[in-house]
Amino acid sequence: MAVSSEFLIFDGGMGTELYERGFYINRPFEELNVNSPADVIAVHESYIEAGAGFLTTNTFSITEPQLKKFDIEAQQVALLRAGLKNANAARQRQEAAHPGVKVGLSIGPLGVLVEPLGAYGLVTAKDDFLRVAKIADSAAREDPRAYGFDLYILETFSNLSELTAAIDGVRSVDRDRPILASLSVKSIQNELLASFALKIGTRDDVQYLGLNCSEGPSDLLTSLTKLAPQVSKPIVVQPNAGTPRQLNGRYFYMTSPDYLGKYAKRFIEAGATGVGGCCGTGPDHIRAIRSTVKMMAAKKTESNPVIRISDTPAGTTRVSIESRGASHIGKALREGRKVYSVELLPPKGTETRKFLEDAASVAAAGVEFINVPDSARAITRVGSLHIAALVEKHFGGKLHAIPHFTTRDRNLIALQSDLLGAFVNGVNDVLLVTGDPPKLGNNREATAVYDIDAIGLTYLADCLNRGVSPNGDVLGRGTEFGIGVASNPTSINLENEVKRWSYKVESGADFAITQPIFDADSFRRWKDLIGKEYRPHVVGIWPLVSFRNAEFMANEVPGVSVPAWVLEEMERAGDDKEEAVKRGVAIAVKVMQSLARECEGFCVSAPLGRTSVALDALKLGVKL
């Protein structure tokens, strides 16, 4: 199907129109393709009668991850084929009065967070979209009249990596049918619009670009005026009918057909080739668009001023940690100094005296940093970001905190909000980790969030450093975090650990703090494995204080490996507590002295809260 020079009219919202007919959102609308095909066909026909030249199949959530949410993934083939059949039945019934109607196969996002923000792999995502295209293409070849379609409509995507996977998946099956790749975006998301123009708009295998959903016609017009000058491909605009309001348990969209009709004219004047609707738009809205298009001149004008995306600066460039003025880790690395830190647990309650005394002893010993876990082992303590801000304020820059920050307890909104707040309050370096599950701790009934994992959190922090949110909102001045991540050179599955490390580096990791190391050779092997992707490493050190402590570390702390010789060495101390501490410190010192020239510093834990033991180990192991 060639790209037309005429204005194209697409249909409106399928889901909201079915909702208006009494089908509620407790089940996926795709089931209605099989359970209530007459209603789906009726919606399609109403759009054709209103003037739509393009129908969108009722298959927006047809991918396997979406269907799994309702345990109906086994019905994917039947639901997809029925969706195609219903659209074709509608256009055939209207063929005499409205010839030439096209069918677009609607495919929406997977409904999961994919790389780089989430843990869902892009290869897996591509296979999900490939599977949909394969089912549809096979059905169309089997019976073109019953299951045929004219283009793919990849709609309402906000993650360009996922959209790229969708395009690649479709093109692995079908090289011929056009693709409309449509972005859900707010006008303030300048980086996302710019990336969309660059990464998707320049692809030869994508014929149409789209802007859909969003907040309503006005905001989408602003996005269009920014995008249109950047691309040469036709653009299809399909706004929501405003923002929905809830009344008596039902949702209502407030944008009138007349209002959308006026905006259809503005869309075309601003450079749109096609206009339709998304959520909340019905046949009356499409009828209004049709009336507008009829009155439009054949030649598009440019009466609306365009806004080039580059007019609004967005921080897209990643700079090295050594160039970030706020990062204390960056400053130490820039000056060639080793990073020495002692890990201190925050208090369980509001009494901070003991914590501040321990921190003061660290500062007095000439150690520049302390590490602060984020409710380690899922045991509730004062928040790491808050205690880190207290340290910065209390010690006036003589001691700096590196708070651990987990994805366990916060959704995407809170993760961004807390990091921004921490930076405002003087926290300039962070260690990003996924976090221990709640069942390990003292609130086992608590719900884990885990919207993203440590890799996604690294990408999020890197975005904030560049002055944008992960979804492309421009924030103005960015943060300047030194982004630390965990690495585990003694992992049981080193192949997977290396793979995750690679993703962390790609996502923006500046430095690493390792799990406690008891065997120097394990760190050397790790350095060889990650090769060119090596980033500064602060080696974790745990001075053991008893044989029982050693056994606990070896058997009950996830990710920590304690060699047999270390257990044997600690067992020789017997019941002599002083001898046990002496042996534990000696083991720690041996590791530090062995790796002094092979890493960028050490983070020594205060075992069982004994800060003096950690400092003794540091004083013997390095030159403070």
CATH code of the domain in which 284 resides: 3.20.20.330
> How far apart (Å, rounded) are the C-alpha atoms in residues 602 and 609?
18
Please list the residues that pair with 106 across neighbouring strands.
153
Residues 6+ apart with CB under 8 A from 373: 343, 345, 346, 381, 384, 404
Pair (283, 340) in one structural domain:
no
Pair (406, 442) in one structural domain:
yes
Pair (462, 546) in one structural domain:
yes
Give the 3-state secondary structure of residue 267: helix
Q: Among residues 290, 311, 332, which one ends one of the domains?
A: 311
pTM score of the predicted model: 0.75
Identify the CA nearest to 544 among candidates 603, 488, 587: 587
For residue range 484-525, what is the model confidence (pLDDT) as tens digits? 999 999 998 899 999 999 989 999 999 999 999 999 999 999
Q: Which two tokens stand for residue 603?
A: 């983070």
Please list the residues that pair with 9 across neighbouring strands.
275
The 10 Å CB-count burial string (b at 16+, else e) for 561-581 is bbeeebbebbeebeeeeeebb
Q: Among residues 259, 293, 311, which one ends one of the domains?
A: 311
Pair (199, 305) in one structural domain:
yes
For residue range 531-582, what is the model confidence (pLDDT) as tens digits? 999 999 999 999 999 999 999 988 887 778 899 999 999 999 999 999 999 9
Answer whether residue 316 is part of any domain: no
Q: What angle do CA 148, 150, 154 make, to 5 degrees?
A: 110
Pair (285, 344) in one structural domain:
no
Q: What pLDDT score was predicted for residue 300?
A: 45
For residue range 208-228, what is the model confidence (pLDDT) as tens digits? 999 998 878 999 999 999 999
> How far apart (Å, rounded) are the C-alpha atoms in residues 184 and 562?
50
Cβ–Cβ under 8 Å, residues 562 and 522: no
Pair (268, 329) in one structural domain:
no
Phi, psi of 176, deg, nearest 5: -105, -50
Torsion angle (degrees, nearest 10) of CA 96, 101, 102, 107: -110
Answer whether residue 1 is part of any domain: no
Instruction: Please give the residue range of the domain that contains residue 488.
Output: 321-621
Answer whether residue 427 is part of any domain: yes
For residue range 63-98, what is the model confidence (pLDDT) as tens digits? 999 999 999 999 999 999 999 999 999 999 999 999
Binning pLDDT at 50, 70 and 90, where does residue 359 land?
very high
The structural domain count of the chain equals 2
Cβ–Cβ under 8 Å, residues 210 and 179: no
> How far apart (Å, rounded) are the C-alpha atoms in residues 116 and 161?
8
CB atoms within 10 A of CB 313: 12
| CATH number of the domain where residue 546 is located | 3.20.20.220
Pair (182, 233) in one structural domain:
yes
In this structure, which amino acid lies at residue 41?
Answer: I
> How far apart (Å, rounded) are the C-alpha atoms in residues 253 and 211?
19
Q: Among residues 254, 280, 311, which one ends one of the domains?
A: 311
Pair (400, 355) in one structural domain:
yes
> How far apart (Å, rounded) are the C-alpha atoms in residues 451 and 117?
9
End-to-end CA distance of the chain: 72
Binning pLDDT at 50, 70 and 90, where does residue 316 land?
low
Binning pLDDT at 50, 70 and 90, where does residue 252 land?
low
Pair (33, 51) in one structural domain:
yes
Answer whether residue 377 is part of any domain: yes
